[in-house]
Copies of this chain bind each other. A is one copy, B any other.
Amino acid sequence: MKHIEGYLRVSLFLSEMGKLSGVFSLRHFLVLSLALNVALISRVVYEGENWREEQIRALMADASEKSAHVSMSSPPPPSPSTPSSMAVTSTEIKDDGERVINLDHGDPTMYERFWQQMGDITTIVISGWQSMSYFSDVKNLCWFLEPEFAKQIIRLHKIVGNAVTDNYYIVVGTGSTQLFQAALYALSPPNASEPMSVVSAAPFYSSYPSVTDFLKSGLYKWAGDANNFNKDGPYIELVTSPNNPDGSIRQPVVNRSGENLVHDFAYYWPQYTPISSPADHDLMLFTVSKATGHAGMRLGWALVKDKEVAKKMTSFIELNTIGVSKDSQQRAAKILQVISDSYEPVGNPKQSGPFFHFSHSMMEERWKALRSAVKQSGLFSLPEFPSSFCNFLGQAFGSQPAFAWLKCEGGIEDCGNFLKRHKILTRNGKHFGASPEYVRVSMLDRDESFNLFTKRLSSLHLSQSKDHEKESP
């Protein structure tokens, strides 16, 4: 039964996709449909009646898991024999209110389902004697950048149209967090009398202050909300767009002489926001974690206009980690290649599904479910996003960010604490330079977590908030 339901949902998804087809032809859907049919049939054949049982067992295991680090608990990754289910609607889920739902981190496990369904097409094989040297390409300024990964980065940006790559240097990093530090190092003069100020408009990504300041560097120093910044002299402004945590589209706010901009484009991909034009700023950061969901690879890349800045960033990574895992670069090259192949299928019989269409549709569904839960509860509010045209998907839509910037209404002063009492872990607004009435909620967790979250959220009403107020001193 479940398999047939799943199949119907996929067919429905495909027919919906057909309507919004811009760069995407019916032939793509036919091939995808066939691929998914094969995947579903083999699931029936190989797993038969055990499938539902396995799903329940996975949920049970999840529920009973007691994490040593409460702030870091997450469901165990699926094993090949227990793939995630197709989307389960929240009405099908029983919630006894006891299971801890951890949406504090932006762990992108939502994407596992897509890659599972793609089967072996993204599998890589690495022999024991491969990738032993420190060096990837001694002729490249960034000598530890794997040439195939560089090629696939450029190809994907050209297909998606979210960034210009011509005349840019690519610097690879152990996630965009390392590249962010490399950028601070590269943009700060080595012999200044005091550290360079680093600012970002609130609400800003909660890690910026701690990552900037944890080593008490004499080169750079966190200087807080860009909206309140009024110091003379050179500074670095971090422009995250769409923004983490609130999903807003951002421009620099300080706009003074001595400006050094770092554009964090972790979320400038079509599943999260309309791609309006190819970005062409001086220093742009991207990360595999949020683009394809492969956070465990710890990979990011920077597109850098100025050669000296690219050299200094490379130098940072050389001093910090002597390069970046080749294994992950090779794996990422394969993942990006498969995504690009699915949009450039000419003469390629091995194409996979259309990744951005699938993930865009998932995010759309999740945001609908969240807004519906918020409405049903009456205790919360969410930002609204204006619709704009996406050149890549060929349609207009409003942003559907990787995080929900949820506000507690009804006089709840600490939204994070309130949700924690209901065993929903989120990140408190105060970590983002904002009010504790806000929390950031990951929208990228596995289906089971997300569905349980919307179900529980929809059941929270004013009476519970009042009970809570009475109980708290």
With A115-B132, A174-B174, A216-B219 known as contacts, the answer to whether A296 contacts B326 (CB < 8 A) is: yes
What is the 8 Å Cβ interface bit string for chain A, positions 96-132, against chain B (1 contact, 0 not)?
0000000001011101111110101111111111111
Contacting pair A322 B132 (CB below 8 A): no
Give the Cβ gap from A111 to chain B, nearest Cβ, in Å: 6
Determine if A58 is an interface residue (Cβ-Cβ < 8 Å): no
Determine if A68 is an interface residue (Cβ-Cβ < 8 Å): yes
Determine if A265 is an interface residue (Cβ-Cβ < 8 Å): no
Of the residues B114, B214, B320, B338, contact of A185 by C-beta under 8 Å: B214
Give the Cβ gap from A167 to chain B, nearest Cβ, in Å: 17
Chain A 296-310 residues near chain B, CB threshold 8 A: 296-299
What residue in chain B is nearest A131 (Cβ atoms)? B296
Contacting pair B133 A109 (CB below 8 A): yes
Q: How distant is the Cα of A19 from the Cα of B123 in the complex, in angstroms?
A: 44
What residue in chain B is nearest A143 (Cβ atoms)? B72
Tell which of A41-49, A73-81, A378-386, A406-414 binds the partner: A73-81
Residues of B with C-beta under 8 A to A331? 126, 327
Of the residues B77, B128, B178, B335, contact of A335 by C-beta under 8 Å: B128
Contacting pair B294 A323 (CB below 8 A): no
Contacting pair A128 B115 (CB below 8 A): yes
Residues of B with C-beta under 8 A to A327? 296-297, 325, 327-328, 331
Contacting pair B128 A125 (CB below 8 A): no
What residue in chain B is nearest A314 (Cβ atoms)? B69
Contacting pair A72 B298 (CB below 8 A): no
Of the residues B68, B83, B319, contact of A140 by C-beta under 8 Å: B68
With A134-B295, A320-B178 known as contacts, the answer to whether A123 contacts B128 (CB < 8 A) is: yes
Give the Cβ gap from A356 to chain B, nearest Cβ, in Å: 15
Residues of B with C-beta under 8 A to A175? 321-323
Residues of B with C-beta under 8 A to A218? 215-218
Contacting pair B321 A297 (CB below 8 A): no
Residues of B with C-beta under 8 A to A69? 138-139, 143
Chain A 258-303 residues near chain B, CB threshold 8 A: 289, 293-299
Q: How distant is the Cα of A218 from the Cα of B322 in the complex, in angstroms?
A: 23
Of the residues B108, B138, B298, B338, contact of A68 by C-beta under 8 Å: B138
Determine if A177 is an interface residue (Cβ-Cβ < 8 Å): yes
Of the residues B136, B214, B321, contact of A321 by C-beta under 8 Å: B321
Determine if A181 is an interface residue (Cβ-Cβ < 8 Å): yes
Determine if A464 is an interface residue (Cβ-Cβ < 8 Å): no
Residues of B with C-beta under 8 A to A108? 132-133
Determine if A135 is an interface residue (Cβ-Cβ < 8 Å): yes
Residues of B with C-beta under 8 A to A112? 129, 132
Q: How distant is the Cα of A135 from the Cα of B130 in the complex, in angstroms?
A: 26
Residues of B with C-beta under 8 A to A134? 74, 105, 107, 289, 295-296
Q: How distant is the Cα of A321 from the Cα of B296 in the complex, in angstroms?
A: 11
Q: How distant is the Cα of A307 from the Cα of B126 in the complex, in angstroms?
A: 35
Residues of B with C-beta under 8 A to A132? 77, 108-109, 111-112, 115, 293-296
Determine if A156 is an interface residue (Cβ-Cβ < 8 Å): no
Contacting pair A185 B122 (CB below 8 A): no
Determine if A14 is an interface residue (Cβ-Cβ < 8 Å): no
Chain A 67-93 residues near chain B, CB threshold 8 A: 67-69, 72-74, 77-78, 80, 83
Give the Cβ gap from A450 to chain B, nearest Cβ, in Å: 15
Determine if A210 is an interface residue (Cβ-Cβ < 8 Å): yes
What residue in chain B is nearest A173 (Cβ atoms)? B321
Q: How distant is the Cα of A67 from the Cα of B175 in the complex, in angstroms?
A: 28
Q: How distant is the Cα of A211 from the Cα of B181 in the complex, in angstroms?
A: 14
Contacting pair B127 A122 (CB below 8 A): yes
Contacting pair B135 A74 (CB below 8 A): yes
Give the Cβ gap from A199 to chain B, nearest Cβ, in Å: 19
Residues of B with C-beta under 8 A to A293? 132
Of the residues B67, B177, B215, B334, contact of A219 by C-beta under 8 Å: B215
Residues of B with C-beta under 8 A to A335? 128
With A141-B68, A321-B298 known as contacts, the answer to whether A74 contacts B127 (CB < 8 A) is: no
Q: How distant is the Cα of A254 from the Cα of B72 in the complex, in angstroms?
A: 40
Determine if A374 is an interface residue (Cβ-Cβ < 8 Å): no
Contacting pair B338 A325 (CB below 8 A): no
Q: How distant is the Cα of A319 from the Cα of B294 in the complex, in angstroms?
A: 19
